Chains A and B, each alone.
Chain A
Amino acid sequence: MSGRSRPWGAVPDRPALALRNLSKRFGDVPAVDGVDLEVRQGEFITLLGPSGSGKTTTLRMIAGFTLQSGGTIEIDGVDMGHVPPYRRDVGMVFQNYALFPHMTAAENIAFPLQMRRVGRPEIRRRVADALALVKLEGLGERYPRQLSGGQQQRIAFARAVVFNPRLLLMDEPLGALDKKLREALQLEVMHISRQLGATVVYVTHDQDEALVMSDRIAIFSKGRIEQLGTGEDLYDRPASLFVADFIGESNILRGRFEPAGDGGWLVRGPWRWQVGAAAAARASLGGGAAAALVVRPERLRIVGADDTGAGPAVVVNAVEATVRDVLYLGSMRKFELVLPDGTAAVVRQQRGGGAHERRPGDQVRLTWAVDDGVLVADPHG
């Protein structure tokens, strides 16, 4: 089980998991509405989204607990259409671990091997290996109720990987643990998965967790994938207002888009802010469309109210604001400001940035480089 173990027949280029136009309706309600996703071998992908967004339903369809209403699920190229859950060969870690209370930890881990009619001496060996992998050697004879939450979590993990599944599914497995333990286990799960070469589909509503652990993240909203990309993609180039809002903090300036040459302008009342060519291209909005400029808090600079320009080289946008609150967050400072029309704004600054001391009530200007602004459609505009 150590090292790069790939399940038999896994072709390097074929996606480990492919969801094509997957959908699920409960009565009239579409819980999952046309999801397309390809997961590469060995990849760690996270399904991220608020509760009710369809991510857990999608996971359960992959596991075979829920039958899809439409679309296909292919695991290693094989259509899972009518395959019952006990023949899908995917490992699953449940939110509440689902360890069999009437079996010891070792018996729990041995269970999938028994189902596959592995010989007893080999079962013993592999169970021992699995316990070693999650660093719980010697605890095999304990019953789940005799183990702590973190330990139960690890046994559940060991049970899910001991049979070298094609795919590892994890349904918010760390939700029940306290913060420190959760962070420690996040790293462990990541490392062990990599060590095993496993393909992991991980479900969570915690964006920090997603950003830490994943190769790619699929953001779910109302049953569809809003955006699929690396953490960096999602953070620096959110494709929609929802994603911008969900991942990290954003400053959102709403208005109407006016194309101009390669780029354009975002117009709102008396203000005009320039939109970069790349941003305009990615958003591909028509003239007059309701749009928003998204600027991350660390990209905004606070300058004096009468400061007219940042410096010689960089072209900047600007807007007036009043400081409302200054929060000291250890290594950084966070400013909460409000624009003349009431819109809230947030600026983050590393301490020691040499900035002026700003106090609540100060009138300032916020500036940002044009290329730091991301253009997205405004569905509420």
Chain B
Amino acid sequence: MTDSWRQPRRLLLLALGALTVFFLMAPTLVVVPMSITASNALTFPPEGFSIRWYEKMLTDPQWSNGFVHSAQVASLTAVLATVLGTLAALGTVRGRFPGKSAVNALVLSPLIVPVIIIAIGMFSLFVRYKITGSILGLVLAHTALAVPFVVINVATSLRTIDRNLELAAMNLGADPLRTFRRVTLPLILPGVLAGGLFAFITSWDEVVVSIFLTSARFRTLPVEMWEQVRQVVDPTVAAVATTLLAVTTSLLLLVLVVRRQAPAR
């Protein structure tokens, strides 16, 4: 296709692409220089250099608690979502049962249903069982939101495995459980890990549902940020934003590394 192109058209496309990349990535990076400004306000270009906003983030109990809570919730969510999601992926890809498309729709629906509806619904239900403002409530909620990503990743991994490998293992004497342990599981492990990381990221960055399910005592970092962002113009928020971004980006790069480890067929 490239041979039939004339230069101007292609250059235009490239320019537009570059512009789009800039549009996609640059605005977000603004928070980074903001977080190291020496002044009290969010002026640009940032005046001076100071890391006191990071210090404030780590020392101010409001922020540091939020950090800890976020980490706790995200880790537990990652574990729970990975377990439930991996099992479900195995069940839907390998299992045969009627109504599979309905189950698939159910599993993916947290991605499509507007999150505010999920938020007030869960709030309504969790209030009754008094699990708002607790780790349990948040983990349950975040897991429901994160699990579609796990299922998608593991299911894709499963589908790309050559079925003959499992047949070969059985032919060579491995019963279904040993086949799964020795052949299937190692081959889907990158998918499982990637799914787990995506689940962590989803929980780590989750705002809307968390707004409803947190309380003054138990807040996650994004909720803390949300409260601040609408009122105070404090560069600490920029430091928090940068931290959130840094964690997410490193985890994403980790996913890319994990994916690359997937053994060839």
Contact = CB atoms under 8 A, between A and B. Distances in A.
B162 interface: yes
A86 B175 contact: yes
Nearest to B185: A102
Given A84-B175, A86-B175, A145-B264, A98 B165 contact: yes
Contacts of B169: 100, 111
Nearest to B265: A101
Given A85-B170, A102-B263, A145-B264, A96 B162 contact: yes
A111 B179 CA distance: 11
Nearest to B183: A100
A159 interface: yes
Contacts of B187: 101-102
Interface stretch (A87-95, A281-289, A328-336): A87-95
Interface in B157-195: 162, 164-165, 167-175, 178-179, 182-183, 186-187
B264 A86 contact: no
B171 A92 contact: yes
Contact of A116 (B164, B171, B173): B173
A99 B167 CA distance: 11
B164 to A, nearest CB: 4
Nearest to B175: A86
A26 B186 CA distance: 33
A65 B178 contact: no
A148 to B, nearest CB: 14
A94 B167 contact: yes
A111 to B, nearest CB: 5
A65 B170 CA distance: 9
A101 B264 contact: yes
Interface residues of A, number: 28
A98 B167 contact: yes
A163 interface: yes
A78 to B, nearest CB: 16
A64 B178 CA distance: 17
Contact of B173 (A63, A65, A115): A115
Nearest to A115: B173
Given A111-B182, A115-B178, A145-B264, A100 B171 contact: no
Contact of B171 (A90, A96, A102): A90
Interface in A286-303: none
Nearest to B173: A115
Interface in B118-171: 162, 164-165, 167-171
Contacts of B179: 86
Nearest to A88: B171
Contacts of B186: 102
Nearest to A117: B173
Given A94-B167, A111-B182, A163 B162 contact: no
Chain B interface mostly helix, strand, loop or mixed?
helix
Interface residues of B, number: 21
Interface in A115-147: 115-116, 143, 145
B172 A115 contact: yes
A230 B172 CA distance: 31
A350 to B, nearest CB: 45
A102 B173 CA distance: 18
Interface centre among B167, B168, B174, B179 (most CB of A within 10 A): B168
A84 B165 contact: no
Interface in B221-265: 263-265
A88 B171 CA distance: 8
Given A101-B263, A111-B172, A65 B165 contact: no
Nearest to A60: B167
B162 A159 contact: no
Contacts of A99: 168
A99 B183 CA distance: 10
Interface string B204-229: 00000000000000000000000000
Given A86-B175, A111-B169, A116-B173, A98 B164 contact: yes
B167 A112 contact: no
Contacts of B183: 100
Contacts of B264: 101, 145
Nearest to B165: A98
A115 B174 contact: yes
A145 B262 CA distance: 13
A100 B165 contact: yes
A364 to B, nearest CB: 53
B164 A94 contact: yes
Contacts of B164: 94, 96, 98
Contacts of B162: 96, 98
Contacts of A96: 162, 164
Contacts of B178: 115
B251 to A, nearest CB: 24
A143 B265 CA distance: 11
Interface of B: 162, 164-165, 167-175, 178-179, 182-183, 186-187, 263-265
Given A87-B173, A101-B265, 14 more contacts: A63-B167, A64-B170, A85-B171, A86-B174, A98-B168, A101-B187, A101-B263, A102-B263, A111-B172, A115-B172, A115-B174, A115-B178, A116-B173, A160-B172
Interface of A: 63-65, 84-92, 94, 96, 98-102, 111-112, 115-116, 143, 145, 159-160, 163
17 contacts: A64-B170, A85-B167, A86-B171, A86-B174, A91-B171, A94-B164, A94-B168, A98-B162, A98-B164, A98-B168, A101-B165, A111-B169, A111-B182, A115-B174, A143-B263, A145-B264, A160-B172
Q: Which 9 A-B pairs have the closest CB atoms?
A: A115-B173, A112-B172, A98-B168, A98-B164, A101-B263, A85-B170, A92-B171, A86-B170, A102-B263
